[in-house]
Structure 1
Amino acid sequence: MTGQDLELQVRRLLESHWDEARGYCVPNPTTYPHLWLWDSCFHAIIWAHLGDDRALRELDATLAGQLPSGLVPHMRYGGRRADSWLGPLDNTSSLTQPPMFGHAAKVLSSRGFVPSAETLDRARRGLDWLWRTRRTDDGLIYVVHPWEAGNDHSPRWDDFGAPGRTPDNYSRPARTAWNKARVHDITFDSDGGAQWSTSFVACPAAFNAYVAFNLAELAELLGDQELADRAAQLSETIDNLLWDEEEQLWSDLPIVGGGSSARVPTSDGLMPALVTQDRAKALAALGQLDDPDRFGAPYGPANVARTHPSYDPQTYWRGPAWPPLNYLFWLAARRWELDGAAHTLADRSIDGALQSGWAEYWNPENGAGLGAAPQTWTGLVIALRDPSILAQGIGHASPNEGVIER
């Protein structure tokens, strides 16, 4: 398929899900009829790649539901409340999600779509909220529900008291019901934002990496030294507290609930390669993307190590390949000048998107589509064909560590 053909298909995908009145794409009109935080950040990146100024409208809409405290909700309801109770607010959820808006703002600006001062201020306040209100005494960022982490059925949450605590008895309906019930264990701030939980609090390696990454991206865009210092501090803390020498990955840290399942080898454990200053750690982790005994699969990285008992390539967050994760792995590979790995990842991701029918996620062994289809964030594969979308020198490693210079 030519680049032009791919671009045409991606444009059709986004336009078919665009809600003109609300100014954003619904990920899938039937399954996901609302706005989701990190979905819309990725939509904005795709629009920018397509040269379409709806990139700005999408990012504006993503941040428009921000609470007075600074929390950016993980959902804005599309005309009706969500089916589940997601907190006391009428128009948005009370939870958050991976804050990909710092990176999105930087990508948009690099492609000539400069966000407004108001949107950039919202992005900064969103990251500042995480820093001020969601840090442990050790300096890690915590989440209070699996939905905030983005990987809500991951094996890493198996021993947080959820039904399906082992690979042998995992049940998606039971886990979903457990997740819904956990919202009632959350305490909320005066503006409705989630604050703490009596049953689930964790410091995920990936979520911490996403925060550090977006701090660094927004810091460069704004020339903001405070954000840059926070990014560097968080990255160092991730390396010091979450690196798992045996798995050669970064693991999660349970705070309330949880236990050894936090060390299950999932591809989320590679995400700190986006921000670490430790080249050896980054290469050890990223080298597993193409290792068939770890995450390497024909249609892009499996989300769980293929030799682990939890691995199920057909089941939600138990093994399938995910387009947004592939995009972030690609950024990390480019950061460390692993051009061969980045090229392979791009090819396999595009093959997976096409084979799956632009599905939400897919079986990494055969490319069979899973979840909602078509799903807008799968259009991210268009970015993997255009290195110009990558802001040079992502993160803040030094030039002599082999990273691409800005």
Structure 2
Amino acid sequence: MAHAARGADAVENDAEGLRRRVAALLEAHWDEARGYSVPNPSIYPHLWLWDSCFHAIVWAALDDPRALRELEATLDGQLASGLVPHMRYGDAGPDTWLGPLERTSSLTQPPMYGHAARVLADRGSRPADELLTRAVRGLDWLWERRRTELGLVYVVHPWEAGNDHAPRWDDWGAPGRTRADYDRAARTAWNKARMHDVTFAADGSAEWSSSFVACPAGFNAYVAFNLAELAELLDDAVLAGRAAALAEAIDEHLWDEEEQLWADLAVVGGGASARSPTSEGVMPALVTTDRARALAALRQLDDPDRFGAPFGPANVTRTHPAYDPDMYWRGPAWPPLSYLFWVAFARLGLHDAAAGLRARTIRAAWRSGFAEYWNPEDGRGLGAVPQTWAGLVLAMGA
């Protein structure tokens, strides 16, 4: 780690060195028998939905045919109803109960397979029609099974949103508000309790919860974004219409004028914490048609009084009482979020901002040892080190 930090400034502009480092990272985590990369062999030895979609994007940036295999593996666990599980288990199951199924969880996760398919196609590796049909079925499931009367998509467990234990979940009683109460046993117990409040369909897919239901701004943005990506790839007017309708619902119901961000909506449980200013509140910039709102949210990524930090956007505003740059989803910078912010900048033609974010993220990846996430103030690696999705730095501008 120290060596990586000392050498960061010297190599951050070395494109070929970055490519070699990312290739070595994915190669080291690739499991040939399973056909996917594990995020980290010691800490994360399974397949996670959005991790593997990001892996596919990184493999594509490397011009490696394993991009398609990674995307195929992501969708191989799809249930009969269409749900794409957030985990496919490796040799051993998870350390907590995730539903009645033996080989996969019953939850889902941000459906980044639409974007991954679009990226692969744009790089000359268009997925087979059968695989694209499965991706559409996954988004159909979210549209048909997980929408409220407001037209927003809901989640039944914080792990589905991708940003578990963020300050937005505090009013649901999630542990992790301080370092003292952030321990694995407490988190496992709380998550297990939430799972036992979930009801399941006949095929094992999670349907509802008696204690936790929310419409997160970030998750809704991811669904709309992936609908739009697949619509463009397939020239599908139905998917395009759904993407537009969901983007409109996000703007109508989740925009927070005071924070100039989009905020979560609590449906069952929760409270005011759902409106905490976290960087997921910027994500609807991926899909909104309101350019003024998109710019107002995106400019906060560079504002030092909001999310702007030397090593990439903090996950919580730096002046918020909950901000802790070392604490999981309560302050650190995350490679997949930075990548998606870069996509949003590019979508709006903000090329200088995109280039600046790319440079900071590459510097942070080297400084952190290509970590799962890092302290945005000093670039220290946190979580699993290394973790495969840090390779997304190669896809930023690839």
- For normalisation by structure 1, the TM-score amounts to 0.93
* Bigger mean CA deviation after superposition, 38-47 or 113-122: 113-122
The answer to whether the aligner puts 1:230 opposite 2:245 as a matched pair is: no
Task: For 2:89, give the aligned amino acid.
Answer: Y
Cα–Cα, structure 1 residues 196 and 170, in superposed 2: closer, same or farther, change >3 Å?
same
Match of 2:356 among 344, 349, 361: 344
Q: CA RMSD in A?
A: 1.1
Match of 2:311 among 287, 291, 299: 299
Cα distance in structure 2, aligned partners of 1:279 and 1:353 = 30
The answer to whether the aligner puts 1:374 opposite 2:383 as a matched pair is: no
The answer to whether the aligner puts 1:8 opposite 2:20 as a matched pair is: yes
Percent of residue pairs bearing the same amino acid type: 71
Match of 1:103 among 85, 106, 115: 115
Cα distance in structure 1, aligned partners of 2:134 and 2:250 = 25
**Could you list the runs of 4 or more consecutive aligned residues of structure 1 that deviate by over 2 angstroms after TM superposition?**
161-164, 166-177
The answer to whether the aligner puts 1:365 opposite 2:381 as a matched pair is: no
* Bigger mean CA deviation after superposition, 115-124 or 303-312: 115-124
The answer to whether the aligner puts 1:171 opposite 2:187 as a matched pair is: no
Cα distance in structure 1, aligned partners of 2:274 and 2:190 = 18
Look up the match of 2:267.
Answer: 255
Q: For each residue in 1:116-143, what CA deviation from the matched residue of structure 2 results, as whole angstroms up to 9, or x when unmatched? A: 1111011000000000000001100000
Cα distance in structure 1, aligned partners of 2:383 and 2:68 = 28
Look up the match of 1:398.
Answer: none
Task: For 1:320, give the aligned amino acid.
Answer: P
Cα distance in structure 2, aligned partners of 1:171 and 1:68 = 36
Match of 2:326 among 314, 324, 329: 314
Matches within 5 A, 1:5-404: 5-163=17-175, 171-173=182-184, 174-386=186-398
State whether residues 186 and 194 of structure 1, in contact with CA within 8 Å, keep that contact through their aligned partners in structure 2: yes
Task: Please give the secondary structure, in 2, of the residue aligned with 1:158.
Answer: helix
Cα–Cα, structure 1 residues 138 and 57, in superposed 2: closer, same or farther, change >3 Å?
same
Look up the match of 2:6.
Answer: none
Task: Please give the secondary structure, in 1, of the residue aligned with 2:328.
Answer: coil
Cα distance in structure 1, aligned partners of 2:281 and 2:343 = 15
Look up the match of 2:8.
Answer: none
Cα distance in structure 2, aligned partners of 1:162 and 1:28 = 25
- For normalisation by structure 2, the TM-score amounts to 0.95
Look up the match of 1:392.
Answer: none
Query: Unaligned stretches of 5+ in structure 1?
Result: 387-406
State whether residues 205 and 272 of structure 1, in contact with CA within 8 Å, keep that contact through their aligned partners in structure 2: yes
In the TM superposition, what is the alpha-carbon distance from 1:170 to its structure 2 partner? Answer: 5.2
Cα distance in structure 1, aligned partners of 2:142 and 2:129 = 20
Which structure has more RCO (C-alpha within 8 Å, separation ≥ 6)? 2
